[in-house]
A and B are shown apart, each in its own frame.
Chain A
Amino acid sequence: MKASDFTYHRPSSAQELAGLLASLENAKVLAGGQSLMPMMNLRLLAPEHLIDINKIPGLAGIRRDGDVIEIGAMTRQVDVLESEIIAKDLPVLKAALEHVGHVQTRSRGTFGGSCCHLDPAAEQPALCRLLDAEFRVNGARGIRVVQAADWFQGMLESALAEDEFLEAIRIKPWTGSYGYGFEEYARRHGDFAIAGAAAMLAVDETQSITRAALMIFGVEASPARLANAEAALVGTKLPDLDVAIVTSAARGLEAMSDVHVSADYRSHLGSVMIKRALLKAKQHLTGSST
């Protein structure tokens, strides 16, 4: 099908965009269009106004700002995947990006678009949850910063108000001795995952775990952190890594079901994914010695 009729707007500055969002009713921001255009073509959505943010200077790009990496909302997924800054400082994000859609959707799809759309199985917002990203939001009422823990409001729902837009995502990379793992299971390469997970572990010279981050996506409506299991791992020794505590925490999530997959299967798959991600993180830290 074709999209129903709409008025097309192409602001050339963030101010102009903020003004349009504040004044127009039933308007949608158009970023990469890889989720919005399908929904419009299927007529699941019929906005009266489409506000194309592709020509606003300064919304795209990856840069270092002190100890933080800032990813502009309009940065294309291909550019995140190919970025040297990301490969060096956020390798877990690069590993995840390889699973986002296909080469053709990554050419246009944006990092910020995925973080606003919030499909439960989307890798990019999930990695923001893992890495405790900050979301910088702008609009006619001014700039505010939303922490990852508050960004996810449920299925396809972010903390953005209707008159706001996402400007950038800010992530502080881990430093020192740490390992990471990313795993997902999809029926075909490039499909949305049924479930996926990522794990990060940092250790000191004595192999004591000093920091842990465990995240499962695609299982609940929003990516979940296993905070209790993270706390339980901190202070333990890497060689004695307690995998069971993590998998049992994973089984405690409230898994969704759909026509393809039962809740129980999805929950089980989530626990398998986090186990593999965790062991990968460990292996990454110990090299090939285990």
Chain B
Amino acid sequence: MSRTVSIQLTINGRATSLDVDTRVNLADTLRHVAGLTGTHVGCEHGVCGACTVIVDNRPVRSCLMLAVQAEGTNIETIEGLANNGELSTLQKAFSEHHALQCGFCTPGMLMTIESLLRETPDPTEEDVRIALSGNLCRCTGYQGIVEATLATAKTLRQEKALGAVAP
């Protein structure tokens, strides 16, 4: 039988305590217990990538991880990308390059790309496409998403070169 346990973790920089059902996955717990509904749930079996969040600096499928396994971790979700209501460089680029229509896949795309750009600040188009292979978009297509990613990488590199404070 499943039971409820209390876990401590960090979500978007804030220390948090959550009461989680041992049977429930991280995606549902973020949405229904933590109230962070930006993380989307598409397929629930690991193929669509809509539920991608960053756990301890690595992108993961939150539908394939139990919430109880997140004890002690540092989790970043789509809600953590904007800074005081101002969209991040990547989010702005998505808007500028028409990288979304319905927006269902967008949170997972953004978290995957966020993690890619931390590891690989100067990706090739192929790097971007391989990184995005685990995220499905059913309506916009990938061209705008790839362009937004490459444009963001360029902007962030320029900002860094100028010594500006990256958002």
State whether these chains interact: yes
CA distance A10 to B22 in the complex (A): 11
By the criterion of a CB under 8 Å from any partner CB, how many residues of chain A are at the interface?
Answer: 28
CA distance A101 to B45 in the complex (A): 13
CA distance A38 to B59 in the complex (A): 17
Contact in complex: A108, B60 (CB < 8 Å): yes
Complex contacts, B3 vs chain A, CB 8 Å: 8
Interface string of B12-44 (1 = CB under 8 A from A): 000000000011110010000000000000001
Complex contacts, B44 vs chain A, CB 8 Å: 1-2, 41
Given contacts A8-B2, A102-B133, A189-B130, contact A107 B45 (CB under 8 A): no
Is A236 interfacial (CB 8 A cutoff)? no
Is A7 interfacial (CB 8 A cutoff)? yes
A139 vs chain B, min Cβ distance (A): 24
- How many A-B pairs have beta carbons closer than 8 Å: the answer is 86
In the complex, chain B residues 101-118 whose Cβ is within 8 Å of any chain A Cβ: 112, 115-116
Interface string of A95-110 (1 = CB under 8 A from B): 0000001111101100
Contact in complex: A108, B49 (CB < 8 Å): no
CA distance A47 to B141 in the complex (A): 38
A12 vs chain B, min Cβ distance (A): 13
A189 vs chain B, min Cβ distance (A): 4
Interface string of B59-75 (1 = CB under 8 A from A): 11101111011000000
Is B9 interfacial (CB 8 A cutoff)? no
Contact in complex: A37, B46 (CB < 8 Å): yes
CA distance A131 to B100 in the complex (A): 45
**Contact partner, B1, options A7, A41, A52, A189, Cβ 8 Å:** A7
Contact in complex: B134, A101 (CB < 8 Å): yes
CA distance A101 to B46 in the complex (A): 10
Is B151 interfacial (CB 8 A cutoff)? no
Complex contacts, A101 vs chain B, CB 8 Å: 134
Interface string of A137-159 (1 = CB under 8 A from B): 00000000000000000000000
Closest to A35 in B: B46
CA distance A2 to B28 in the complex (A): 10
CA distance A80 to B22 in the complex (A): 29
Is B58 interfacial (CB 8 A cutoff)? yes
Closest to B1 in A: A7
Complex contacts, B91 vs chain A, CB 8 Å: none
Given contact pairs A3-B25, A6-B2, enumerate 8 new A-B contacts (beta carbons under 8 Å): A34-B46, A38-B46, A38-B64, A41-B25, A104-B112, A105-B46, A108-B60, A108-B65
Residues on B facing A (Cβ under 8 Å): 1-3, 22-25, 28, 44-46, 49, 52, 55, 58-61, 63-66, 68-69, 112, 115-116, 129-131, 133-134
